[in-house]
Amino acid sequence: MRSGVVVVGSNPSFRAMLGPLFNASSIGGLVAWRAGIVLVLAGLMGLQTVVRHTRLEEETGRHELVGSGVVGRYAGLTAALIVAFGAGLLLATLIAGSLIGLGLEATGSIAFGLAVAAVVWTFAAVASLSAQLTSSARAANGIAGGALGLAYLLRALGDSAPEGDALSRLSWLSPIGWSQQLRPFADERWWVLGLVAALMALTAGIAYALASRRDVDAGLLADRAGPAAADPLLRSPVALAWRLQRGALLWWAICFAVVGLAEGSVADGVKQIVGDNPQMAEIIQRLGGSEALVDNFLATVMGIFGVIAAVYAVQATLRLRAEETALRAE
């Protein structure tokens, strides 16, 4: 059984999807490996929390109302980061406590909890920076979300490459890769948290510096001037929906195309799982052969993409609420 797990964990396709498997001999190591996609969701949690409590507050005018009282210029940004960092710490506590309660090693459980929290904190800091660049919460989420997608892509490309290959170093350019390199349940590398802390301090520090150089409700990137008259094509609900959603739809499509291309390029590597293992070959044969294994791999990837795509569906629906809040719908 262990040899089969090692073969699967060393396969480039599964490494690209879930990350490297550092300890195949313990339940904790397998849990940390299989939960690799949780890191992406943790990043989404961190960036959306900060944008919600910074840029969206300015966009709706609530930040200006609060700022008229006896509060400092950086109160909103500081409060948002405190909330995001506190949420990450609470998440780490719950994860570590749950794993320890199930009988897993305490050190590895704490390391895994901190690995998830580190992604929350990192992209919360990234979102604090993106919130200073644009006057729109949607655009701020898009910029930070693009950084998250790039981090996942770099991690996937780096982990799918053979060890020692130049391409394998790409995973060290990704905060998601850093969290996995903490190696929960596998001789933990606590010094990796120093990289996370350095990136957080850098991005949050730049965000504070930029916050003092812009006006309330304004971004450092100038908004494009709209046309003086409405386009004649905006005469139907479908045309209006396209105008509202085209930017987000384009970027989501590009991100999915790039990640899909990367995952598809390593799909054939799933066939290598069989290797010289007769038991594994028999199992694969019962499942329908190696082609069926590739199909199952792609189906699993599509399942993960489906969860991430749901974020776009929620984002697109909430655009209706944003239009009402900004009084444009009225």
Q: What is the DSSP string of 243-280?
A: HHHHHHHHHHHHHHHHHHHHHHHTGGGGGGGSTT-HHH
3-state helix, strand, coil in the chain (%, to 5): 75, 0, 25
DSSP single-letter state for residue 68: T
Q: Is the predicted pLDDT of residue 4 greater than 70, yes or no?
A: no
Q: Is 166 exposed, middle or buried (0-12, 13-18, 19+ CB in 10 A)?
A: exposed
Least confident interval from 21-30, 54-63, 108-117, 279-288: 279-288
Query: How far is the C-alpha of 135 from the C-alpha of 138, rounded, in Å?
Result: 9
Q: Which pLDDT tens digit goes with each residue over 267-302? A: 666 666 555 556 655 655 565 555 666 777 677 777
Q: Which pLDDT tens digit goes with each residue over 124-138? A: 999 999 988 888 888
Predicted confidence band of residue 114 (pLDDT cuts 50, 70, 90): very high
Q: Are 20 and 26 in contact (CB under 8 A)?
A: no
Give the angle subtended at the CA of 41 by the CAs of 49 and 58, to the nearest 5°: 20
Helix (H), strand (E) at residue 281: helix 278-287
Nearest to 136 by CA among 246, 218, 48: 218
Percentage of the chain modeled with pLDDT above 90: 23
Angle, in degrees to the nearest 10, between helices 137-160 and 38-53: 160
Mean pLDDT of the chain: 81
Measure CA 193 to chain center.
18
Q: Are 236 and 157 in contact (CB under 8 A)?
A: no
Phi, psi of 178 (to 5 degrees): -60, -45
Measure CA 304 to chain center.
12
Q: Are 128 and 77 in contact (CB under 8 A)?
A: yes
pTM comes to 0.76
C-alpha distances (whole Å) from 270 to each of 7, 11, 17, 164, 302 are: 10, 7, 11, 21, 15
Query: How far is the C-alpha of 220 from the C-alpha of 158, rounded, in Å?
Result: 33
Q: Is 9 exposed, middle or buried (0-12, 13-18, 19+ CB in 10 A)?
A: buried
Predicted confidence band of residue 120 (pLDDT cuts 50, 70, 90): very high
Query: How far is the C-alpha of 286 from the C-alpha of 303, rounded, in Å?
Result: 23
